Structure 1
Amino acid sequence: MTDAVKPTVQTTLVNLTIDNVPVQAPKGTLVVDAAKRAGIDIPVFCYHPKMKPVGMCRMCLVDIGLPAVDRATGKVQTDPQGHPVINFGKALQTGCTVEVAEGMVVVGYTEKVQKARQDVVEFLLTSHPLDCPICDKGGECPLQNLTMAHGSSDSRFIFDEKIKLAKHVPLGELIYLDRERCIQCARCTRFQDEIADDPVIGFEARGRSLQIVTYSEPGFDSIWSGNTTDICPVGALTTSDFRFGARPWELQASASICTHCPVGCNTTLNTRREAKAGGEMVVKRVMPRQNEDVNEIWLCDKGRFAHHYAAKDDGRLTRPLVRKDGKLVATTWEKALALVAEKFDAAGRGLLTLAGGKLTNEDFYHLAGLARARGGKAVLDSRMAGGDLTAQVGLSAGSNLVALGAGDAVLVIASDLEEEAPLWWLRVKQAAERGVTVVVANPRRTKLDRHATHTLRYDYGYEAALVTALIGSFSPKRADLPAAVQALIRNKDVKDAGQVIAQANNLIVFYGSDGTGLAESTALARACANLLIGTGHVGRANNGLVAVWDKANAQGGWDMGLRPSADLAADLGAAKVAYIVAADPAGDSPALAEAVNAAEFVVVQDIRLSATAELADVVLPAAAFTERDGTFTSGERRVQRLHPAVPAYAGLRGDFAVTAQIAARLGLAQEKLLATKVFNQIAASVPAYAGLSIAALSEVREQWPVIGRGDVYYGGTTYDNKQGLGVQLPVSGDSPALTFEQPAEPVKVKGLKAVAVTRLYDRGTTVTPSTVLGTRLPQTFIVLSVEDADKMKIEPGQKVKATLNGVTAEAEARIDNSLAKGVVLAPRSLGLAIDSPCEITVKK
């Protein structure tokens, strides 16, 4: 990343002139960026403000002059009028590789410059197919725009000399390459190398035969591949779900928030009315929306492509269903709601509400209110703890990972960050590149290890013990600590990491759920909070605790008063009425499916007929996230708003509105029309949200780099943010105390121990409808250590039978040479009966 990406870091300003306009820019800024900040366009193809300059395309050629300096005196020479004498070089220079200097004069409108740019465009067009009418990039194409601005009105193009290359080359399942359109700018390959750290594509051959190839199997095997289509300045790279699907000028744009992980990436949903959808408005693609505090201008492929679960298709629920003679049959809303209200009324304290983590804050607020009013229990569908602690010692208002630099530290523990929250992985990686000390603690190897200053290993179950040892490495000795903690304190790697953490100017701690259940997560969150308190890294910006939640809006659920269940299977099985909203416990785990079956009466509220819904007595349909308004709270405690992009399918309403209709039949008044009114109630009654307003969430400011649809050549086709950057909540203001707690002993088993891990691609209800993801969606698998696989004579890819908690499933065996003997990784939401560490039996 160039210094131009973070100009606020620079303090020394230099004065220069660009096209007769006086400009001030931070020292180290590139000429093209200084011009852009001053509102002056210097055209580029290969340059991108998020990547290192390479000067390949030569489109940014400008005439650059510097003040003449007297060699004897060292002073700037002046003409008779007292103006500095400017010496221009004989050759034009690339504005993307030259840094600004005091007194510099940049000219981009001379005949020499214009001719150079015209020549570059002409050269590119001689190898270009000129198939704009059928090109997906047409209408948002930098080559089109810059041809109109700088191309010649005459053509010397000889058709017979045109080179012909393959036009529909699948680099992978998601990205297609048109080799004739490629202008060899290397934006895509540089992005994969510099930004994504996934150098799985590159150039092959030379000259006009130079072409992009994939080095991975399967092809273009990266979770960041979709971003290359955003920054491609031509139509060489297109996505498999959008190519030939619509013209950019036909699309409407609506602001939204990604619902897949706790980062809260800002997105834009592009929609169009489709004839083949019966004239309905449909989502054609998901694009990044710039928010430099959150996802910058990037999206992972799950956020970009896994939106089809909200599509208006035959799989969507449109009418309530009730069980009759053992089968679910359609009924009216009045009958369904009357039956549900009757059962709720009779259940009393036996009402269990299970709310999924992709609901909005407004949904949680109503669900929690209804549960309290009936004396029931409101449970958050999550296996992580600590939402109360993040309110005390979490990131506070004004925090931004980009602000971290040398002297600061980041601890990532119990999290495979790229799998659980990809954009946080990206931003922590970038922090490491800026000199931030990154400490990664995990029992196995993760991708972030490549960028870690310190890498700590521990046995699964000893997460809290390790953090306690970090505290002990710089605190007075305590004789009452367990032997395992004492041993860790004596470990040199732990000592070194502990000292760095203690001395850091700023410290952010990310804790995840890699290998933990709720009990382990509770202990880990408490230990991490103690670490922050003990080092004084609380109550100020760029310091605090971040939960890498297993669900997108789990933080919002905690804030609204919901809590995870210590024994969800028992709670579900004992419920007189289980009200399950936007959650699929039966699909997540066979053991939970049995628990759902054991409940006396089950009401499921969802957008599709999930595995849990198939077991229900009543199924209530609801609107999808693409069809509704609401707010989410990210893991960084940033409250953000999503907007409806398409009309609600079949007149359906948001979950809060459905809940309000049930509540009305029970004599409880809840807002059932506008999510904004519910948010106002939240702001008035939830202390952490006091003073918030929709207007505050909608505020915007100038961001750098400048991304705009009018100059897509510069930053790509990311949407600029005109709908709101959100508001980061302040911490509670309490004065948390450091409390040493004895770490619990890990779960003991006789044989192999299975631990639950999160994979970016699972087979949950929000992912499987997106068939475009193809083989990226895995079948059930487990991961064995090399020693255990050798002992059982199991080969990679072999089918085995895995038994957990009394439930057997067929799974593919994978092997990880960094995994400790006796441990088996069991991915969540892939058909395995696991939510916390347990014994596993593996047989061929």
Structure 2
Amino acid sequence: MSDQVTLTIDGVELSVPKGTLVVDAAKMIDNPIPVFCYHPKMEPVGMCRMCLVEIGLPVRDRATGELVLNEDGTPQVNFRGLQTACTVAVSEGMVVRTTTEPVTEAREDVIEFLLTSHPLDCPVCDKGGECPLQNLTMEHGKGTSRMDYSLKLKLDKHVPLGELIYLDRERCIQCGRCVRFQDEIVDDPVIHFHNRGRSLEIVTMSDPGFDSYWSGNTTDICPVGALTTADFRFGARPWELTPVATLSPHSPSGANMTFSTRREAKSGGRSVIKRIMPRQNEQVNEIWISDRDRFVHHFADAPDRLKKPLMRKNGELVEVEWNEALDAVAGRLQQNGTAVAGLSGDRVSNEDMFLFQKLIRQGLGSNNIDLANRRLAGGDVVAKVGISQGSNLLNLGQGDAIVVVASDLHEEVPVWWLRVKQAAERGAVVVVLNLRPTRLDQWARHVIYYQPGQAVTTLRQLVNDAKVAAADADNSPIKAAADAIVQANNVVAFYGAEGLTYKETDAVAKLLANLLLIKNEEAHAGRPNNGLIPVWPHNNTQGAWDTGIHPELEPGYKAVANPGMNAAEIYTAAENGDLNALFILAADPIGDGLLADRGKLDFLVVQELFLTETAAQADVVLPAQSWAEREGTFTNGERRVQRYYPAIQPSGDARPDWQILAQIGERVGLEKPAFAASLVFRDLAKAVPQYKAMDYRALAKVEKQWPDVGGDDLYYGGNAYENRVGLGMQWAVEAESGDVEHFDVPDVATDAPEKVAVVRTAALFTPGTLINHTELLADRMAKPTLILHQADAASMQLTTGESVMIDVNNQPMAAQIRVSEDAPEGVALLRGVPYQAGFVELKLRQTAN
């Protein structure tokens, strides 16, 4: 039986997949049927009636089942009045009419009815200029109204649904999109309809209000100006805004976004970021972005940004010109020969990191280069068995499996949590291994908890069980999970670092790789919709691996002949005086507790956005541009290389990181600096074999995506932007072109604590250098909290709300106690503090005052 259905819409014959809704079929032939309540990402409800059309079905003889024909040989069609196009699926021979008089009258009536309760405040409404109701009124409204203005209902117009989203109750047309999005899509049913009839209104049902990481998306899909964000309300008119494509600077998902910018007199004529909106990429984030991606951009415009180079003179950092600063850096680095090291953050671009390692390695002759805070191993494993080209988490469902190890995706990478959750709802088997419950457990078929230090042992058992046939006597939870994975058509494995040491994460990566390499008919690794995904801590950790920010690997994963010191060894050498000079790029190891101070370094240079604790101790501080002020590329956790673009003017005399590094490189004997980021990427692509088919033009290619959102109609998909500047390119792993050998995984010794183990857990809004500049999120910032099981709290005589002093990275910190079943017995969960690897034994210093 064919999976295609042929029908006719306004005289145009088309074939579409079975199950397609009439409204979607019409959209496919550029005949958009107007809607308010319908959204292509949500289940249809037929509430607003704006999509009423005439639908006719072919007449069949009741006795024979054959089509009844007209005299001219065409099938007879029986029209049964008006029906909602958003709730009716296409059928063979269906005839749809969207422009008849009954349809036109129905649309006029719906618009007129909506306007009887709608305020006439288009001139001041935030949605004016991109409002579906406004546009559809112009296209389908009568132009006159029978409304008795004295009967108009007056409602509150500035109702906070929490501190991020405001509701204008008069503007709400009760389409339910916002409520349904929170319920259906992200499973945060924290807003609801309240009351009935003309008193129906949206209310928040959580404390704090609108308690969801996805609240901003409701403002995009709201078809009127009823929902607005706190930072954009009355901030600008849509036609004043210039859209600029960008990427998430926070998350390894690589979420596609769009800046909306405007030049403002109060900013001295500079362009400023007024809001951030989603940009469609169905392979990455569809049209959704988390509230961290939406709201945490204020650091780019922060008044305390570094604007000029600083040099230490007479013990003080003073402003100097660029040439003086660059000459000093180059000269001092050269004086120290190979006794230099470079530490990089993983939030800068591929171009930046490529030139950084080139400066340290080729310019200064040192392999002492690493990430400043390397949390998660396995980039070399990913290069062999990472998720394959052509994969899309949207394709996973019935018959597939997803494994998640040592990661809380909801807090670490919300976009991936959402896509895994939706795959589970489509029928995929989710297997979770962790030392504590996470929100993903709700959608998992198999949940396996292990004790601190037992992650590798537990995962090894899972892999070993997957290698052997099921035994009747073995009905353990681990064996059941292994069987589900082995029987799956496709397998995708995520792994993180929660509660694990770096060595443990390396073992976990290799064990998951071996799981993907098990051959029944064929291995999973190397096939589309199969492979390994690391839950990297930052937006471009994958790029750091690719470009050679590693003491043992050059760009493209080529082994270094003489490996240098890793980050931990560099810190020790700096403290002991075994290292002369240190160059830190986009990282704050002193502020993060990784380094007590500059130690015995002869020379310290920091390249940063702000005067961090590390920068404050430097000899030279070089001001860098933020990602909003320049162009470049990031590589997400699925190895998709994507471009971002400059949106605002640079802060002061700040320069792009790659340009600063190239200018230092020239001074130490490297070639003349490139004059564009695209030329740096060209050199990168020559050095990294995995990138050889890429250039800026290829990364900017686009193709038609479905559903067709971001179009001029606005009402169909909301205000998400169409992707017109690039979907990026995913590089191939070794398993796609040949066999990959199984990995040897040595035992990893981890001693369990004698008492309670402290494990740092993630929180989306954890304080940090960038997020601290978004005052809007101050109340949602995770506070230092120690979560204890009731039995552990009782044994230590601690209660909820009590404050204690604990050690975090060997530094004292005050934390508030919370007693909860979220913490397993024997494990204390530490939330709202900087990253801490593995686990340590809980040591309470004292009760805080």
- Measured in 2, the distance between the counterparts of 1:259 and 1:458 equals 33
Answering whether residue 523 of structure 2 is matched by residue 533 of structure 1, we say: no
Report the CA distance between 1:570 and its aligned residue: 2.1
Bigger drift between 785-794 and 441-450 goes to 785-794
Letter in 2 for 1:512: G
Partner of residue 450 from structure 1, selected from 442, 456, 464: 442
- Whether the 8 Å CA contact 2:343–2:369 is kept in 1: the answer is yes
- Whether the 8 Å CA contact 2:382–2:533 is kept in 1: the answer is yes
- Whether the 8 Å CA contact 2:346–2:371 is kept in 1: the answer is yes
Bigger drift between 519-528 and 196-205 goes to 519-528
TM-score (norm 2): 0.94
- Measured in 1, the distance between the counterparts of 2:332 and 2:761 equals 37
In structure 1, the partner of 2:324 is: 335
Bigger drift between 675-684 and 748-757 goes to 748-757
Letter in 1 for 2:59: A
Report the CA distance between 1:433 and its aligned residue: 1.1
In structure 2, the partner of 1:622 is: 624
Answering whether residue 242 of structure 2 is matched by residue 252 of structure 1, we say: yes
In structure 2, the partner of 1:676 is: 678
- Measured in 1, the distance between the counterparts of 2:131 and 2:300 equals 29
- Whether the 8 Å CA contact 1:581–1:605 is kept in 2: the answer is yes
Question: Could you report, residue by residue, the CA deviation over 1:605-638 in whole angstroms, capped at 9, with x for unpaired residues?
Answer: 1111122212222111011100111111110010
In structure 2, the partner of 1:280 is: 270
Identical columns (%) = 50
- Relative distance call for 1:534 and 1:715 in structure 2 (3 A) is same
Report the 3-state secondary structure (helix = DSSP H, G, I; strand = E; otherwise coil) of the residue aligned with 2:218.
helix
- Whether the 8 Å CA contact 1:173–1:774 is kept in 2: the answer is no
In structure 2, the partner of 1:441 is: 433
Bigger drift between 685-694 and 620-629 goes to 685-694
Answering whether residue 819 of structure 2 is matched by residue 815 of structure 1, we say: yes
Report the CA distance between 1:757 and its aligned residue: 2.6
Bigger drift between 107-116 and 570-579 goes to 570-579
Report the 3-state secondary structure (helix = DSSP H, G, I; strand = E; otherwise coil) of the residue aligned with 2:706.
coil
Report the CA distance between 1:238 and its aligned residue: 0.2
In structure 1, the partner of 2:397 is: 405
- Whether the 8 Å CA contact 1:572–1:595 is kept in 2: the answer is no
Report the 3-state secondary structure (helix = DSSP H, G, I; strand = E; otherwise coil) of the residue aligned with 2:466.
coil
- Measured in 2, the distance between the counterparts of 1:460 and 1:236 equals 48
Letter in 1 for 2:538: K
Report the CA distance between 1:595 and its aligned residue: 4.6
- Measured in 1, the distance between the counterparts of 2:760 and 2:673 equals 39
Q: Superposed, which structure 2 residues align to 1:219-368 within 5 Å?
A: 219-311=209-301, 313-368=302-357
In structure 1, the partner of 2:740 is: 736
Report the CA distance between 1:694 and its aligned residue: 1.6
- Measured in 2, the distance between the counterparts of 1:672 and 1:790 equals 63
Report the CA distance between 1:19 and its aligned residue: 1.4
- Measured in 1, the distance between the counterparts of 2:349 and 2:534 equals 18
- Whether the 8 Å CA contact 1:747–1:837 is kept in 2: the answer is no
- Measured in 2, the distance between the counterparts of 1:612 and 1:824 equals 30
- Whether the 8 Å CA contact 1:367–1:378 is kept in 2: the answer is no
- Measured in 2, the distance between the counterparts of 1:334 and 1:273 equals 31
Letter in 1 for 2:612: S
Partner of residue 472 from structure 1, selected from 461, 464, 481: 464
Relative to its length, the structure with more helix (as a share) is: 1
Partner of residue 32 from structure 1, selected from 7, 23, 26: 23
Report the CA distance between 1:324 and its aligned residue: 2.9
- Whether the 8 Å CA contact 2:433–2:450 is kept in 1: the answer is yes
Partner of residue 73 from structure 2, selected from 76, 82, 85: 82
Bigger drift between 673-682 and 287-296 goes to 673-682
Partner of residue 23 from structure 1, selected from 1, 14, 20: 14
User: What CA RMSD, in Å, does the superposition of the two structures yield over aligned residues?
Assistant: 1.8
Report the CA distance between 1:357 and its aligned residue: 0.8
- Measured in 2, the distance between the counterparts of 1:33 and 1:755 equals 48
Pairs aligned (count): 819
- Relative distance call for 1:36 and 1:418 in structure 2 (3 A) is same
In structure 2, the partner of 1:155 is: 145
- Relative distance call for 1:708 and 1:741 in structure 2 (3 A) is closer
- Relative distance call for 1:571 and 1:541 in structure 2 (3 A) is farther
Question: Could you report, residue by residue, the CA deviation over 1:81-124 in whole angstroms, capped at 9, with x for unpaired residues?
Answer: 111111111x3111100000111111111111111111111111
Answering whether residue 84 of structure 2 is matched by residue 94 of structure 1, we say: yes
- Relative distance call for 1:11 and 1:231 in structure 2 (3 A) is farther
- Relative distance call for 1:670 and 1:792 in structure 2 (3 A) is farther
Report the CA distance between 1:700 and its aligned residue: 0.7
Report the CA distance between 1:462 and its aligned residue: 1.9
Question: Could you report, residue by residue, the CA deviation over 1:746-776 in whole angstroms, capped at 9, with x for unpaired residues?
Answer: 2443433222332211111111101111211
Question: Could you report, residue by residue, the CA deviation over 1:202-258 in whole angstroms, capped at 9, with x for unpaired residues?
Answer: 011001111111111000000000000000000000000111110000100111111
Report the CA distance between 1:565 and its aligned residue: 3.2
Report the CA distance between 1:593 and its aligned residue: 3.9
In structure 2, the partner of 1:760 is: 764
- Measured in 1, the distance between the counterparts of 2:381 and 2:331 equals 38
Report the CA distance between 1:670 and its aligned residue: 5.5
Question: Could you report, residue by residue, the CA deviation over 1:673-705 in whole angstroms, capped at 9, with x for unpaired residues?
Answer: 211001111111111112212221111111001
Report the CA distance between 1:138 and its aligned residue: 0.5
In structure 2, the partner of 1:431 is: 423
- Relative distance call for 1:571 and 1:518 in structure 2 (3 A) is farther
Report the CA distance between 1:31 and its aligned residue: 0.4
Report the 3-state secondary structure (helix = DSSP H, G, I; strand = E; otherwise coil) of the residue aligned with 1:208.
helix
- Measured in 1, the distance between the counterparts of 2:798 and 2:423 equals 40
Report the CA distance between 1:328 and its aligned residue: 1.9
Report the CA distance between 1:490 and its aligned residue: 6.2
- Measured in 1, the distance between the counterparts of 2:754 and 2:149 equals 74
TM-score (norm 1): 0.94
Report the 3-state secondary structure (helix = DSSP H, G, I; strand = E; otherwise coil) of the residue aligned with 1:23.
strand
- Measured in 2, the distance between the counterparts of 1:366 and 1:251 equals 34
Partner of residue 43 from structure 1, selected from 31, 34, 57: 34
- Whether the 8 Å CA contact 1:368–1:562 is kept in 2: the answer is yes
In structure 2, the partner of 1:505 is: 489
Question: Could you report, residue by residue, the CA deviation over 1:408-453 in whole angstroms, capped at 9, with x for unpaired residues?
Answer: 1110110101111111111111111111111111111111111111
In structure 2, the partner of 1:481 is: none
Partner of residue 59 from structure 2, selected from 68, 78, 82: 68
Report the 3-state secondary structure (helix = DSSP H, G, I; strand = E; otherwise coil) of the residue aligned with 2:257.
strand
Q: Superposed, which structure 2 residues align to 1:580-595 within 5 Å?
A: 580-589=584-593, 592-595=594-597
Answering whether residue 533 of structure 2 is matched by residue 546 of structure 1, we say: yes
Question: Could you report, residue by residue, the CA deviation over 1:8-38 in whole angstroms, capped at 9, with x for unpaired residues?
Answer: xx96111111112112111100000000011
Report the CA distance between 1:171 and its aligned residue: 0.1
Report the 3-state secondary structure (helix = DSSP H, G, I; strand = E; otherwise coil) of the residue aligned with 1:132.
coil
- Whether the 8 Å CA contact 1:255–1:643 is kept in 2: the answer is yes
- Whether the 8 Å CA contact 1:804–1:840 is kept in 2: the answer is no
Task: Mark the runs of 5 or more structure 1 residues left unpaired by the alignment.
Answer: 1-9, 478-485
Report the CA distance between 1:831 and its aligned residue: 5.2
Letter in 2 for 1:36: K
- Relative distance call for 1:84 and 1:805 in structure 2 (3 A) is closer
Q: Superposed, which structure 2 residues align to 1:188-227 within 5 Å?
A: 188-227=178-217
- Relative distance call for 1:225 and 1:572 in structure 2 (3 A) is farther
In structure 2, the partner of 1:649 is: 651
Answering whether residue 100 of structure 2 is matched by residue 115 of structure 1, we say: no
In structure 2, the partner of 1:483 is: none
- Whether the 8 Å CA contact 2:306–2:654 is kept in 1: the answer is no
Q: Superposed, which structure 2 residues align to 1:175-190 within 5 Å?
A: 175-190=165-180
Report the CA distance between 1:568 and its aligned residue: 5.9
Report the CA distance between 1:571 and its aligned residue: 4.9
In structure 2, the partner of 1:777 is: 781
Letter in 1 for 2:19: G
- Measured in 1, the distance between the counterparts of 2:710 and 2:622 equals 41
Question: Could you report, residue by residue, the CA deviation over 1:258-280 in whole angstroms, capped at 9, with x for unpaired residues?
Answer: 11010000111111001111111
